[in-house]
Amino acid sequence: MAIVAQSSKFSTYGRPILAWGVGLLFFFPIFWMILTSFKTDADAVKPEHLIFFTPTLENYLNMTQNYDYWRFARNSVITAVSATVFTLFVSIPAAYAMAFNPTRRTKDVLMWMLSTKMLPAAAVLYPMIFLAKGIGLYDTHILVIAVLSLINLPIAIWMLFTYFKEIPKDIIEAGKMDGVNTWGEIKEILIPLAWGGIASTALLIFIFCWNEAYWTVRLTTVDAATLSKLIEGNRAPEGLFFGRLSAVSTAAVGPIVVLGWFCQKQLVQGLTFGAVK
C-alpha cells in the first residue's frame, strides 16, 4: 500500500515538477538568447547587466537595416518548404513500397540508406563545390533544395516506413480488391491513415532543413543564402558582439519555434505513433 501511495504522490507532484524542470532546462538557452538580444553588445558581456539592463531594439534594427534579414528569411522559407515537399514526394512512395511490398533485400536497402548518413559531410565538400560550379548551380535555390532533400531522405524514409508498418496490410489489400491502383492506394488509403506520421515527418524534415548550416553556408553566397548563413556571418573572431548575434539567432529560430509550438500536438502524436503496442 505504501508503495502505491508513494507512486501516486510522485504522479501527482513529482512528474509535473520533473517535467517542468526538464522543460525549463531546455528552454533556458533560448530564453537567455532572447534576453541577450535586447542588450547592447557592451551590456551583453557585463556581469552587472546580467539580469537588469536597459532594453534596446538596436540589434534588431541593425539586423534589418544592415543585413537584409528578409532576403535570408525568404531564402530559408523557399528552400526549407521546397525541400520538405520534394522529400515527402520521394519518400512516401519509397516507404510504401518497402512497407507493403517488401523483398529479401528491403532491410539491406534501408540499412544502406541509413549508412549514407554516416559519411562525414566534410568528406564530400570539395567534390560538391566543384560539381555545383561545374553545372552552374552554385548559390542557387535548386542546389540547396536538392542537397537538403538528399541529406534528409534516409531519415524521412525510415520514419515513414516505421509508421506505414503499423497499418494493417489487409486494409491496403482490401483497396486492391476494390480495384484501386497503386497511386489510389497511397492517396486514398495510406495518406489519410498515416496522416499523423506524415505530418510529424514533414515537420521534422522542415526543422532539419531550416536549421541546416554546414551545406547552406558553404554552397551559397548571396542569392540563395539562408538564415544559417546570416548567423554564421555574425560570429566574430575579434570582438564580442553577443547582442547582435543573439538578435540574429532569435530572428532565425523564431519562426521554427513558433511553428513547433503550434504543431506540438501533431508532433508528439506522430513521434509516439506505434510506441505502445
Q: Does 235 sit near other proteins (CB under 8 A)?
A: yes
Which among 68, 66, 63, 84 is positioned nearest to 222, based on CA atoms? 68
* Residues 141-170 within binding reach of other proteins (CB under 8 A): 141-142, 145
Q: Does 49 sit near other proteins (CB under 8 A)?
A: no
Give the three-state DSSP class for 193: helix
Q: Residue 224 in contact with residue 23, Cβ under 8 Å? A: no
* Residues 18-47 within binding reach of other proteins (CB under 8 A): 42, 45-47
| Closer of 99 and 145 to other proteins (Cβ) | 145
Q: Shortest Cβ distance from residue 113 to other proteins (Å)?
A: 21
Q: How far apart are CA 216 and CA 79, in angstroms?
A: 10
| Closer of 45 and 271 to other proteins (Cβ) | 45
Q: Given CA atoms 81, 84, 87, 89 in this order, what sign does their dihedral have?
A: negative
Residue 28: CB atoms within 10 Å: 10
Which of the stretches 22-30, 137-145, 172-180, 196-204 binds other proteins when contact is defined by CB under 8 A?
Answer: 137-145
Q: Shortest Cβ distance from residue 274 to other proteins (Å)?
A: 24
Q: Residue 226 in contact with residue 166, Cβ under 8 Å? A: no
Q: Shortest Cβ distance from residue 47 to other proteins (Å)?
A: 6
Q: Does 238 sit near other proteins (CB under 8 A)?
A: yes
Q: Does 117 sit near other proteins (CB under 8 A)?
A: no
Q: Given CA atoms 141, 213, 246, 21 in this order, what sign does their dihedral have?
A: positive
How many residues make up the chain in this entry? 277
Q: Does 252 sit near other proteins (CB under 8 A)?
A: no
Q: Shortest Cβ distance from residue 168 to other proteins (Å)?
A: 24
Q: How far apart are CA 273 and CA 199, in angstroms?
A: 12
Residue 36: CB atoms within 10 Å: 23
Q: Shortest Cβ distance from residue 4 to other proteins (Å)?
A: 49
Measure the CA dihedral 142/143/148/152, to 10°: 100
| Closer of 19 and 129 to other proteins (Cβ) | 129
Binding site for other proteins (CB under 8 A): 42, 45-47, 66-67, 78, 81-82, 85-86, 89, 126, 129-130, 133, 138-142, 145, 187, 217-218, 221-225, 232-241
